[in-house]
Amino acid sequence: MEPLLEKIAADREKYNCTVTSLGEAKIASPVRRHDFIREGQRVLMSGDFDLLQAWNEKLGHYPSFERAGAHEKIFHDPSWTRVGIVTAGGLCPGLNNVIKGLVETLHEDYGIRNVFGIRYGYAGLNPAFGYAPMALDVDSVDTIHELGGTILGSSRGQQPTDIIVDTLVRMNINILFCIGGDGSLRCAHEVAEEVLKRGLKISVIGIPKTIDNDLHFVGRSFGFETAVAEAAPVIRSAHVEAKGAHNGIGVVKLMGRDSGFIAAYAAMANPVVNFCLVPEMDFEIEGENGLLRALEKRFAGGKDHAVIVVAEGAGQKFFKGAVEKDASGNVLKQDIGHYLRDTISAHFKAKGIDHTVKYFNPSYTIRSCAARGTDAIRCYMLARNAVHAAMAGRTDCVVGESGELYTLVPIALATIERQHLNLSGAIWRSVTAATSQERLLGPSVPGSEN
């Protein structure tokens, strides 16, 4: 965390924790039988006392976020409120749970009936595409939590900010909920800024969607826990296939463009994994400390199989050529899974060593499934707190989670940079202990890509 503290000290304005408000809340809330939060109530950013002290020494105050929850006084009049909900970016378990939570909270707590689902991401707010909005009510969202994906559809990429705001004005929408990852949230931030520049009273609230768990300051993002759980049967299958042949090798590629949290947690939860490769670490394929030699040493040591879990963004240094980006501005990663499969197979074939390599890529299967267990609960609670924030007149913020409490984080702060695995931290040290990979690969060192 020390490099982050240095950045914060160098640019205090950029690391501002204050959420924007549209104005004074004067309307009595219709919410009943609820413990209202106190105006100005805040939650410390971390339970790490040393971090809090270091922050205070550099900035002169302890880092904290506004606590999310229902307010006794609200800004938007429920009888005049019209709401838009947009899902943008790639699919993720829990999107429909969030939509359901938003609609039901708006309806049951505030009596708001005018709720519109924006079709196919931000493209639905650009009339050039001709996507008609979908009217949403408690009946239409009753069972959508059982389905993967999003009933609204999604798309990548931003649309012109001025056109989006023009559409909101034309539709008389005064609350817009944006469910998306860092790219989609940056678009929401630009919309919120344009709204304020025009002097409009429109709340723009984000619900952070990133299955990779790579957003700062918002706690664990929804979909991540389901992704780790859904990876388990795939890893088990890779293990069975690997053990079913002499010198069998199972390669499983999991999601994680720039951050290896899914791969690390899945490897720790399934200790049959022998090598876990993530974007944060630098590793070699060739050479004495390379992966190929590590596999040879494992087989020579009496083991007759190996399971490798690799995050999609790992090992990008092995690919040459121009960098391409998707419509959301994300760097398109080269296929490390195919590369490992082909390179490992070619290596052992050239050496005349009997082997079998089986490759598994469950990414689309995982991201399109429904949320499960406490992940589904997290989705609903994020949605409820997003509604409370919007009705209180907050804008340009996302809902985060801190323990059992929920917080409001400025979008600009949540998207300021990717969150990465700490290769010296407890999680990664647990992964290397469970896999014993450093005994064959050598110590994990930070990668050049990050």
Bridge partners (DSSP) listed for residue 73: 28
Rg, C-alpha atoms of the chain: 24
Cα three-residue angle 12-18-22, rounded to 5 degrees: 135
**CA pair distance 58, 357, nearest whole angstrom:** 52
Task: With CA atoms as reference, report the closest residue to 401 among 189, 266, 212, 222.
Answer: 222
> Residue 231 in contact with residue 262, Cβ under 8 Å?
yes
Bridge partners (DSSP) listed for residue 85: 117, 177
In terms of DSSP bridges, do strands 445-446 and 281-282 run parallel, antiparallel, or are they unpaired? antiparallel
Question: Could you please report the per-residue DSSP string of 13-75?
Answer: TTT--PPEESS---EEP---S--PPPTT-EEES-S-HHHHHHHHHHHSS--EEEEPS--SEES
Q: In the structure encoding, which two tokens stand for residue 229, read together?
A: 């759980």
**DSSP secondary structure code for residue 121 in this structure:** G
> Residue 218 in contact with residue 414, Cβ under 8 Å?
yes
109, 212, 214, 375: the catalytic one is 212
Helical (H) or strand (E) element with 299:
helix 291-300
- 35 tagged catalytic: no
Phi, psi dihedrals of residue 27, rounded to the nearest 5°:
-95, 135
> Residue 31 in contact with residue 387, Cβ under 8 Å?
no
Residue with tokens 């791969």: 263
Task: With CA atoms as reference, report the closest residue to 409 among 422, 424, 419, 423.
Answer: 419
Q: Which residues carry out catalysis?
A: 212
